[in-house]
């Protein structure tokens, strides 16, 4: 019986992803889609933890987890970005998008590249302690929290970033451009450092500790704006670490 518990949790991930897609086509419930993706990410974490705690593993679970990620962190965020940019255009019309409405479909590059990223991960034996390229949940997290920041701009912040952030995330062309950039990060060979620490000592965990400290600072001062910002910091930290890493002889 216990071997089915992780799969049951993965199923909850799939349900959240499907509900997110269903709610994404209505501007009034677009923020609900983002919350559902956040819940899907929690279930994605829980199914792996449950499998480890119960010491159960099955090829079916591995395949189901990958398909769940495709729905919740590939297809759903692509549709959310598609609908979000159309909403932004309806609020403040962009001439380029009016003349070329096909540009909105660029958002669907996210599920395409997510599929390649997940397929690559399934057969890549190098990605055990860390990731090569951006993980699909992290990519989805960036876009859903951007949308939530847009719909809830008046949440209290110690440091007010509203005037700086809103003009950026309210521009549909910028958001579609970020969709392209992040899609290429999904399939890139940039090593993304793992947050899993083998000990709590400073030595060997410097980057992880600094990153966690920055996240807590951003969270306390910026509220939900912290989430997309800390992901950008994560990518920058990973890139710097990769480029500064000395080749072994």
pLDDT confidence of residue 196: 62
pLDDT beneath 50: ranges in the chain: 249
Q: Is the dihedral of CA 67, 68, 70, 75 positive or negative?
A: positive
pLDDT confidence of residue 249: 43
Mean pLDDT of the chain: 87
| Residue 212 belongs to domain spanning | 2-244
- Taking CB atoms within 8 Å and a gap of at least 24, the contacts of 6-10 are 6/47, 6/48, 6/50, 6/51, 6/54, 6/56, 6/61, 7/47, 7/58, 7/60, 7/61, 7/64, 9/43, 9/46, 9/47, 9/50, 10/43, 10/44, 10/47, 10/61, 10/64, 10/65, 10/68
We report the CATH number of the domain holding residue 205 as 1.20.120
The answer to whether residue 148 sits within a structural domain is yes
pLDDT confidence of residue 151: 92
The answer to whether residue 107 sits within a structural domain is yes
pLDDT confidence of residue 208: 78
Measured distance CA(183)–CA(177) in Å, rounded: 10
The answer to whether residue 249 sits within a structural domain is no
- Against a cut of 0.95, is the pTM above it? no
Please tell me the total count of domains within the chain: 1
């Amino acid at each position: 019986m216990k071997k089915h518990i992780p799969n049951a949790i993965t199923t909850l991930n799939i349900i959240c992803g499907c509900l997110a897609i269903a709610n994404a086509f209505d501007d009034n419930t677009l923020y609900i889609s983002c919350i559902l993706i956040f819940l899907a990410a929690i279930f994605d974490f829980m199914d792996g933890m449950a499998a480890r705690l119960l010491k159960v593993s099955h090829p079916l679970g591995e395949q189901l987890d990958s398909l769940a990620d495709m729905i919740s962190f590939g297809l759903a965020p692509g549709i959310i970005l598609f609908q979000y940019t159309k909403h932004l255009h309806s609020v403040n019309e962009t001439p380029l998008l009016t003349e070329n409405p096909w540009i909105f479909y660029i958002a669907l590059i996210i599920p395409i590249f997510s599929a390649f990223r997940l397929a690559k991960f399934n057969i890549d034996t190098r990605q055990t302690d860390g990731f090569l390229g951006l993980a699909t949940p992290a990519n989805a997290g960036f876009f859903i929290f951007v949308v939530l920041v847009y719909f809830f701009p008046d949440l209290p912040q110690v440091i007010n970033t509203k005037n700086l952030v809103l003009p950026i995330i309210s521009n549909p062309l910028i958001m579609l451009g970020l969709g392209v950039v992040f899609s290429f990060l999904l399939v890139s060979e940039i090593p993304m450092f793992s947050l899993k620490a083998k000990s709590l000592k400073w030595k060997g965990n410097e980057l992880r500790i600094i990153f966690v400290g920055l996240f807590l600072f951003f969270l306390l001062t910026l509220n939900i704006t912290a989430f997309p910002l800390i992901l950008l910091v994560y990518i920058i930290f990973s890139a710097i670490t990769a480029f500064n890493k000395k080749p072994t002889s």
